[in-house]
Structure 1
Amino acid sequence: MSTDSALVTALTDAALEAGAAILAVYGCDFAVIAKADRSPVTDADVAAEAIIVAALGRCLTGVPVVAEEACAAGHAPGSLGRRFVLVDPLDGTREFVSRNGEFTVNIALVEDGRPVVGVVLAPVLGLIWVGEVGVGARRGRVEADGGVAWTPIAVTAAPVEGFRVMASRSHAGAETEALLARLPVVARVAVGSSLKFCRLAEGAADFYPRLGRTMEWDTAAGEAVLRAAGGTVVRFDGTPLVYGKTADAPDGAFANPAFLAFGDPACERAVLARLGGRAPAK
């Protein structure tokens, strides 16, 4: 696909502005509130989402926006159509609360059920990733003057002796351990939020399994970056994740099934062959 460069710039600028608002809260004492699903939310989530939604209203007029905090408040769009935006204003709120810096701002443009443009910003790390499927992916370092120094990125070939696995810092569990026990793993790296997709995209790891529940706004931007860099994201049967799911979907509205993310597509083939195309038994 080919995306309007002005649109990609606008999405990038929205993420950077939201990141600045998040850092303003991060540097102070802040309250943590539990949502209905018991996940945490802070003033930073709310402020960042307001900035991003306002920016999207200017650059993507009329395009539906599915934003995490709005959905949590019962304000999901009634109809999506073939083109919509997914927003997670602060992915990794647990990382934000623990102040380890491994949280991100995620913005993704979805077309025909697949994320095609993704922006992922890690405000504390001063890093931003942008992916345009069919065009390419890049990582930027945010400089003191607000500018961004960009470097193209791409996935790397998986090592023949085994896989470097990217694990969730907050959500790994017994099922994930059982899956990894069936595979040749030579290294494990624990990282929070959608940073896992970005690390795969830049060749720092080969494989990220996720068996626990995630939502579409958690994964869409990172998936777009990874696919733009040459990687893949699939369900355990080898089919792609589909976005824009409604309330009558098996796991509910905007909920993802278990999935596997890969850098090298050869790693995908090897892992699915070893797993027999199915998730480990619960």
Structure 2
Amino acid sequence: MNVAQYPLNEIMQELIITAKKAGNAIMDVYNSDDFNVQIKGDDSPLTRADLAAHHIIIERLQARFPDIPCLSEESTDLTFAERKSWQQCFIIDPLDGTKEFIARNDDFTVNIALVTNHKPVAGVIYAPVLDTVYYAAENEGAFKQVKDEAPTKISVRKLQKKNGQNHFTVVASRRHGLEKVETLCQNFSSYDLTSRGSSLKMCLVAEGKADLYPRLAPTSEWDTAAAQAIVEQAGGQLLQLDFSEMAYNQKESLLNPFFLVLGDPEFDWKASLVVS
């Protein structure tokens, strides 16, 4: 399959519209009394909001960009034999943070990425409860838009100082791998640790509200593809623990290795982090 020749800004605008429409469908379920929670084969939950968002996204993207295949969390029956020839695809998490959704704590998002030659080149993350969208496209920068306000460009920040020492704001998953993150933080003489759900953790690094997000628990490619595009266009990095680059749709398993989301590009993270 060749790379489809759609203008990237055209794709970006459609991804934003599609993510918001999926978010509206999610909110219809969120504001109801019936989530219809099921348990999938990997013990993760599935609600009718996941499925409603999935169908909206797939139908819209396939109609608008028929030459670009879709890989969604809810379409994992696709085999590697079918998708290994894809040079380009959309990678989609219709509802990232389903456990947060079920717990009604508002930390859930819609994630859509465009991946070309195994690299995310555009990404949208929409938080329906907050009515906030983060988005980025290659060579265009990263942006945040809250409700109907004008979009603002976002970027990672330089490390802060506290009592003359580098001070790290570290963000961690509310539900996964917190003990390992606390151990990693012992690398730092000054830090604070906060927890959030879904891909909003990576957005905090991208918009300069956190410096580091270590993910030391399992994730899948649809959890990170959109966020990686946003973090990178904001000046940060999303890297495997050995500081090599992440790649997408390049192997049979869609599970990610553990990874680090890094802010300040001038800081020597490799020399400062010991990850076991």
Q: Taking structure 1 as the reference length, what is the TM-score of the superposition?
A: 0.89
1:8 matched to 2:12? The reply is: yes
Alignment of 1:263-274 (within 5 A): 263-267=263-267, 269-270=268-269, 272-274=270-272
How far off its partner does 1:76 sit?
A: 4.9
Aligned residue in 1 for 2:3: none
- For 1:113 and 1:8, how far apart are their aligned partners in 2? 18
How far residue 210 of structure 1 moved from its aligned partner, in angstroms, is 0.4
Conserved 8 A contact 2:62-2:69: no
Q: Percent identity?
A: 39
- The one-letter amino acid of 2:62's match is G
Q: Aligned equivalents of 2:154 and 2:7: distance in 1? A: 18
For structure 2, the residue ranges without an aligned partner over 5 or more in a row are 1-5
Offset of residue 185 of structure 1 = 4.2
The one-letter code matched in structure 1 to 2:20 is: L
CA contact (8 A) 2:125 2:133 kept: yes
2:40 alignment partner, one of 35, 40, 43: 35
Query: For residue 245 of structure 1, what is the aligned residue in structure 2?
Result: 250
Contact 1:3 1:132 in 2 (8 A): no
**Structure 2 letter corresponding to 1:274:** S
Q: For residue 169 of structure 1, what is the amino acid of its counterpart?
A: R
For each residue in 1:224-243, what CA deviation from the matched residue of structure 2 results, as whole angstroms up to 9, or x when unmatched? 11111111111121111111
Do structure 1's residue 25 and structure 2's residue 23 form an aligned pair?
A: no
Q: Give the whole-Å Cα distance in 2 for the aligned partners of 1:69 and 1:14.
A: 16
Please give the residue correspondences for 1:27-106 in structure 2 after superposition, counting only pairs within 5 Å: 27-29=31-33, 30-71=35-76, 74-76=77-79, 78-79=82-83, 80-106=85-111
> Mapping of 1:1-282 within 5 angstroms?
3-29=7-33, 30-71=35-76, 74-76=77-79, 78-79=82-83, 80-143=85-148, 149-160=150-161, 161-247=166-252, 253-267=253-267, 269-270=268-269, 272-275=270-273, 279-280=275-276
In structure 1, the gaps of 5 or more residues are: 248-252
Deviations 1:224-273 (A, max 9, x none): 111111111111211111111322xxxxx111101000121134x23x21
| Residues 66 and 76 in structure 1, CA contact (< 8 A), matched pair in contact too | no
Question: More displaced, 4-13 or 89-98?
Answer: 4-13
Alpha-carbon separation, structure 1, partners of 2:154 and 2:63: 29
Question: Following TM superposition, by how much is the alpha carbon of 1:141 offset from its aligned partner in structure 2, in angstroms?
Answer: 1.4
Question: Counterparts of 2:138 and 2:264 in 1: how far apart (Å)?
Answer: 16
Q: How far off its partner does 1:3 sit?
A: 4.9
Distance 1:114 1:41, change over 3 A: same
Q: Deviations over 1:32-59 (max 9, x none)?
A: 1110000001000000010001111122
TM-score normalised over the length of structure 2: 0.91
For residue 51 of structure 2, what is the amino acid of its counterpart? V
Distance in 1 (alpha carbons) for counterparts of 2:211 and 2:24: 31
Once residues 22 and 65 of structure 1 are traced to their aligned partners in structure 2, the CA distance between those partners, rounded to angstroms, is: 20
- Matched residues in 2 for 1:4 and 1:163: separation? 35
* Off by >3 Å, runs of 4+ in structure 1: none
The one-letter code sitting in structure 1 at the alignment partner of 2:258 is A
2:262 maps to amino acid: F
What's the offset of the Cα at 1:183?
A: 2.5
Secondary structure of residue in 1 paired with 2:71: strand
1:118 and 1:221 in contact (8 A); partners too: yes
